[in-house]
Structure 1
Amino acid sequence: MRGKIRNREWRRGRYIPSEADLMAQYGVSRGTVRKAIGTLVAEGLLVSRKGSGTVVADGGIARPGNARSFSFAASLRDGGVRYTTQVLQKDVLPAPAEVAESLQVEPGEPALFMRRVRSVGGRPVVCQESWSNLAACPGLEQADFTTESLFDAVERCSGRKIALSHMHYSSCRAGAQHAACLACGASDPVMVLEQNIELADSTPIEWSLTWLGPNQSIVGVSLQSDGFPGPLELDGIRTRPREGAAAEDEATRALRRRLDLDALAVRRGVVEWGRHYMGSPLHFGGALSMAEIVAVLLDEVMHTGRDGTPWDERDRLIVSKAHASVALYPMMLKCGLISQDDVDRGLFGPDARIFKHPERDPQRGFEISGGSLGMGLGYAAGLALSLRRKRLPGRVFCVVGDGECDEGSVWESAALIGYKRLANLTVVVDANGMQLDGPTAQILDNGPINRKFTAFGFDVVEVDGHDVIQLADALRNPGDRPRAVVARTRKGHGLSFAEGHAEWHDKALTEELYQQAMRELDAREEAIRGE
């Protein structure tokens, strides 16, 4: 029977002969025929359909009978990879016709729809959209999918094992919606996995589409000598190391721990400002997304002038996305640019010295008044040109948002910077994929920002904006051209209720959310100190 499938005598998607015909053909008992069919079903070569018979599988990648169905959560756990799950949507909805067909239920019958993002090391690597058969799995909608995988919940609620996964891979561009989830460009290529999952009794339980982020996934398929796909080999989903990169030494691990704690302090500071002005909107999303950027710049890379560097030779920081400036204050306090008294005076009123949108005060590290987007990079260009003409060694760092790059003035400034070869200037793009009104790719898709800066003559480096070591490596040691560091981040990163949600661009904190934020940040600190 296996040979008939492999030599295409039994064609894909077609019904195989009846049990009676197979008994007569092979001269065996009904029990032997059923055992053989069961083996081939477990191998994924056949599909048993209730009430209609058995058909040849239609070419999806099959798993052997002794292997677990394809589960990202299980593969990550088995590989020792730490991950987090964010549930973006979970609703019981009427099953559309195509979903109903896959789940073998009536159109309009209630089904559980979920959209989830899984992240490794702060970087989103997988976006999954799934429809689950609630009739076969009562109570599934009550599960907490931030702590339990869908496969585990299905087996718990149904009381049956998942036995078979039909998988089809394809590639496409991410598109605006999934680019926002995966923190990549809308035009970036991604791999898409379509799965049909069945229980041991062949009941369809799930139909899903999974988008695997670019340059982050390692999936292999072995081919048998007859050309049929063999077992799926999953090495797990992990951040792909730089070519030639070695394991981190103790000094690097210590640096990572220190800077991760700095970024955590930034997030705590942002949340405390939110509590101080409870009920008043604060720009949480963009402040949280650039926590690692601020930590690495102010506590590792920059010579701030408070570290013994002559004041005129200090490095300058321009935060063009000035609405997120509350992220600066914990690190500015740590490195001595502002005082505790400055913090205690608050952000508003006649006695304030630091503000929600900063005012120019170079002695405290504020080189420019902020608020109007698109203005900072031009100012940074003038500052860098002035330092070069004065033969001063200071560098200029300018942080812009990817939404801010909708402003034409950003690209006018980039043209000047490239033309003047201002190698003492580094622009950091906080590419969090979101702006006030939603995903940047849906507002004005700027395409591949890295290529644009390259076209203007920049040395471009693209990094995980929540990986402090990648950031530090990219921000140190300028070359002979201006540098652009495209930091792929997540808006609201670090707080589950804010991450990836555009409404947290500017929103007020509540006491309940403050307490939740503190619990999550405490857990993150425990994890950092335990690493």
Structure 2
Amino acid sequence: MARPEDNNQNNLKDICKKVRRDIVELLYKAQTCHLGSDLSIVEILVALYFNVMTPEDRFILSKGHGAAALYAVLAEKGHFDFKEVMESYGKPDTKFLNLVNSDVPGVEFSTGALGHGLPVAVGLALAKKRWNEPGKVFCLISDGELDCGTTWESALFAAHHKLTNLVLIIDNNRIQACGEKMGIMNVYPIAPKFGAFGWGIWSGDGHDTTALITGMNQPRSLPTVLIADTVKGKGVDFAENNNEWHYNNLNEELYKRAMKQNA
């Protein structure tokens, strides 16, 4: 549940900066990748965990390569000490894998292979509806997951069953692992496709916590999709809109530069 001080927008901005620093430090120390993918979802996760979600809500991070961002936010919420993550992230026999792992406190479902998170979220939402349980189910997917048939099958299923307790968030940074989304699979425009399936639509700035909170809390009579326009690598100038930072590791010079930009 959100703490009273979490509702202050300046405080949310400070949390976002802290989370970005933690991501940069973690990936530098571990010498592993997905910096761009982690940085694009910071405001979405902070809005969810520090303002929107209640104890009855469930969250699935379908883009499992955003693990560092999720672990940083969960640590900030007090699920564990971030030092634990720093000491073992990505190492053999750790629970803090570089893909989302449900052995980590606060994580609902392990993800990595794309296209599986929304089907699970739909199942959770259907169970809540049938058992008259309170709370919503939030699911965050990458725009690359719009290439997956399972995403669209789940969208159709959710509309058919009128899962008004389901909120899908798309990290719409327009870049996926191998390049620009438009050139790999042109799914644009996104909103009319979900509208045709029977979903409610919200579109806006995925780095504006105020706008995100409004979209996440809006009244709904349909399953809702939030198309969050984001920047891959947001907050680190050399990584922004640069697909090399889906894979690149940080050297000392770039690490210091990234930390300074989020001081």
Which residue number in structure 2 is paired with residue 268 of structure 1? 21
Partner AA of 1:372 in structure 2: A
Looking at structure 2, the residues matched to 519 and 290 of structure 1 have their Cα atoms a distance apart, in angstroms, of: 20
Contact residue 39 and residue 232 of structure 2 kept, 8 A: yes
Please say if 1:348 is aligned against 2:90: yes
Question: Which of these residues, 92, 111, 127, is aligned with residue 370 of structure 1?
Answer: 111
Provide the rounded CA distance (Å) in 2 between the counterparts of 1:434 and 1:349. Answer: 28
> In the alignment, is the contact (CA less than 8 A) between 1:299 and 1:331 conserved in 2?
no
Aligned-partner SS, 1:400: strand
2:231 corresponds to:
490
Q: State how far apart, in whole Å, the 1-side matches of 2:171 and 2:86 are.
A: 28
CA contact (8 A) 2:38 2:66 kept: yes
Q: Distance in 2 between matches of 1:341 and 1:509?
A: 20
Deviation of the 1:345 alpha carbon = 4.2
Distance in 1 (CA, whole Å) between partners of 2:232 and 2:82 is 28
Who is 2:8 aligned against? Answer: 255
Q: Larger helix proportion, structure 1 or 2?
A: 2
Q: Indicate whether 1:448 and 2:201 are aligned.
A: no
Q: State how far apart, in whole Å, the 2-side matches of 1:272 and 1:491 are.
A: 18
Q: Name the TM-score, length of structure 2 as normaliser.
A: 0.93
Q: Distance in 1 between matches of 2:234 and 2:38?
A: 9
Q: CA deviation at 1:403?
A: 1.4
**CA deviation map 1:319-351 (0-9, x unaligned):** 111111211122211223334464244223455
Q: Determine the C-alpha separation between the residues in 1 that align with 2:194 and 2:177.
A: 24
Match of residue 163, structure 2, among 416, 422, 427: 422
State whether structure 2 residue 162 is matched by structure 1 residue 409: no
Q: CA deviation at 1:404?
A: 1.6
* CA shift digits 1:498-526 (9 cap, x unpaired): 0011111121010000011111112xxxx
2:42 to 288, 291, 294: 291
* Cα 1:452/1:379, change in 2 over 3 Å: same
Among 300, 314, 317, the alignment partner of 2:51 is 300
| Structure 1 match to 2:79 | 337
> What secondary structure sits across from 2:97 in the alignment?
coil
Matched, 1:439 2:180: yes
- 8 Å contact from structure 2 (residues 170, 228) kept in 1: yes
Cα separation, 1, equivalents of 2:88 and 2:252: 19
Structure 1 distance, partners of 2:130, 2:242, is: 44
Map of 1:387 onto structure 2: 128
**Per-residue CA distance 1:131-167 (angstroms, 9 max, x = gap):** xxxxxxxxxxxxxxxxxxxxxxxxxxxxxxxxxxxxx
Cα pair 2:36 2:232 within 8 Å, conserved: yes
The one-letter code of the counterpart of 1:263 is C
Unaligned 5+ segments in structure 2 are none
Does residue 1:470 correspond to 2:211, yes or no?
yes
- Output the amino acid matched with 1:394: G
1:212-261 CA distance string (max 9 Å, x none): xxxxxxxxxxxxxxxxxxxxxxxxxxxxxxxxxxxxxxx9xx72211111
Give the match for residue 30 of structure 2: 277
What's the CA shift for 1:478? 4.1
The amino acid across from 1:353 in the alignment is K
Q: Is the 8 A contact 2:43 2:206 kept in 1?
A: yes
Aligned partner letter, 1:445:
N
Which structure has the greater CA radius of gyration? 1
Matches within 5 A, 1:73-222: none
Which residue is equivalent to 1:399? 140
Q: Deviations over 1:466-505 (max 9, x none)?
A: 1110001001144221110000011111100000111111
- Secondary structure class of the residue paired with 1:328: helix
1:462 to partner: Cα distance? 0.2
Partner secondary structure for residue 282 of structure 1: coil
Partners of 2:232 and 2:241 within 8 A in 1 = yes
1:316–1:365 Cα contact (<8 Å) kept: no
Whole-Å separation in 1 of the counterparts to 2:229 and 2:154: 22
Give the count of matched residue pairs: 258
Q: CA RMSD in A?
A: 1.7
Counterpart of 1:317, as a letter, is: F
Distance, in Å, in 2 between the alignment partners of 1:365 and 1:392 is 19
**Are the counterparts in 1 of residues 36 and 240 from structure 2 also a CA contact under 8 Å?**
yes
- The one-letter amino acid paired with 2:100 is P
| Structure 1: gaps of 5 or more residues | 1-250, 306-313, 523-531
Shift of 1:301: 0.5
